[in-house]
A and B are shown apart, each in its own frame.
Chain A
Amino acid sequence: MNHSNHVVSSAITPESIADSSLVAPEAVAQYALGLGDDALVLAHRLGEWITNAPELEEDVALGNIGLDLLGHARSLLTYAGTAWDKSEDDLAYFRDEPEFRSHQLFEQANGDFAATIARQLIASVYFAALYRALSESADATLAAIAAKAVKEVDYHVDHSAQWLQRLGLGTEFSRERMQAGLDSMWPFVDELFREDRFVAGLDGIAVDPQTLRPVFDAAVPRLIVEAGLEVPTVAAARGGGRSGIHAEAFGPMLAELQVLARAHPGASW
């Protein structure tokens, strides 16, 4: 039986990748690991909203977005792990902080609801541009993961844009909070679109993040202005997430993510 064909279907799952005989080339695995970490970290942050959102309905909305991202993380980490004979759980639960490659935007603490919406808008537009380009990848597994993710992240963009508009054009108080949320997350925009050493040598397979910046610049500032808000002019943060440099808030978040798996290795239910 040819296992390599069925994972290329539109409904790729982590299980189908794990069950296949696929082995990601080393450079592709290194690249997929960074993308998987981005999705995993943001998924966890969104999960922290469960029971804390302004309304039950928003709990579900943020939880849904988080679960979509967790799905992307699972597929990407599973695929990366095929290069090193590691499972998605090995990679998610048994790496330490400096081994995580996620951009610093995703680990930023939730802040208030407006800050979370600001982070999600930036992240979702980035993911939409990335996955749209990656769905054309010469690596069939990356292309299939990206093609499945595009439809999901397009909805995430809409969710954030709707809230940006409501908070920006709502009351004076909501406008102030939304502007503060944008200002607090904006320093981490630049890192998303910088040169990425894990992309080098993967022409036609990986997406050069520098090529995604025009998509972001064409979409996000316009949405911000339409919501009666100002595009922040704050300086960019130093970055370094892809090299394992993370903000202070990352450690406690990772500890919560990993504690159960580390206290009870191999536990399942």
Chain B
Amino acid sequence: MTSPGDSGGRETWPLWEVFIRSSRGLSHVHAGSLHASDETMAVRNARDLYTRRAEGVSIWVVRASDITSSDPDAKGEFFESPQGKEYRHATYYTESEQVPHL
């Protein structure tokens, strides 16, 4: 498994992934990444880099090395197996005339 942003230790500060919630009721969405000495400074750097134009009301940061991601080389078995399995979608089924409230 690989971690996003792994550059082989050339950076002096660790990499952080930034998630911004744009307004109340919405989810935090990945905005980008940045370097910071620690988590407290990462939140501040995120504020400076990603919320200058009032883009957010909340910031999450996660150390990139703490993220476990799917293997890009395993795309086939991970993401292509649902192909041809249209019955997994609700739209595959036809509406029964006798069943109300669908």
Interface of A with B (CB < 8 Å)? Answer: 55-58, 60-61, 64, 155, 158-159, 162, 166
Contact = CB atoms under 8 A, between A and B. Distances in A.
Interface stretch (B21-29, B30-38, B72-80, B86-94): B30-38
A116 B77 CA distance: 54
B44 A61 contact: yes
B48 A166 contact: no
Contact of B45 (A60, A155, A158, A166): A60
A64 B44 CA distance: 12
A158 B43 CA distance: 12
B67 interface: no
Contact of A64 (B36, B38, B41, B48): B48
Given A162-B40, A162-B41, A162-B44, A57 B52 contact: no
B45 A57 contact: yes
B36 A57 contact: yes
Given A64-B48, A64-B52, A57 B34 contact: yes
A55 B41 contact: no
A61 B35 contact: no
B96 to A, nearest CB: 58
B57 to A, nearest CB: 15
A57 B40 contact: no
13 contacts: A57-B13, A57-B49, A60-B45, A60-B48, A61-B45, A61-B48, A64-B48, A155-B47, A159-B44, A162-B40, A162-B41, A162-B44, A166-B37
B44 to A, nearest CB: 6
Contacts of A55: 12-13, 35
Nearest to A165: B40
A57 B48 contact: yes
Interface residues of B, number: 15
Contacts of B49: 57, 60
B15 to A, nearest CB: 11
Interface string B1-32: 00000000000110000000000000000000
A60 B40 CA distance: 16
A58 B44 CA distance: 10
A57 B41 CA distance: 10
Contacts of A166: 37-38, 41
Contacts of B44: 61, 158-159, 162
Contacts of B52: 64
Contacts of B38: 166
A56 B48 contact: no
A158 B48 CA distance: 13
Contacts of B35: 55-57
B46 to A, nearest CB: 9
Contacts of A64: 48, 52
Given A162-B44, A166-B37, A166-B41, 4 more contacts: A58-B45, A60-B48, A64-B52, A162-B40
A171 to B, nearest CB: 12
B39 to A, nearest CB: 12
A159 B38 CA distance: 13
A158 B37 CA distance: 16
A61 B52 CA distance: 11
Nearest to B45: A57
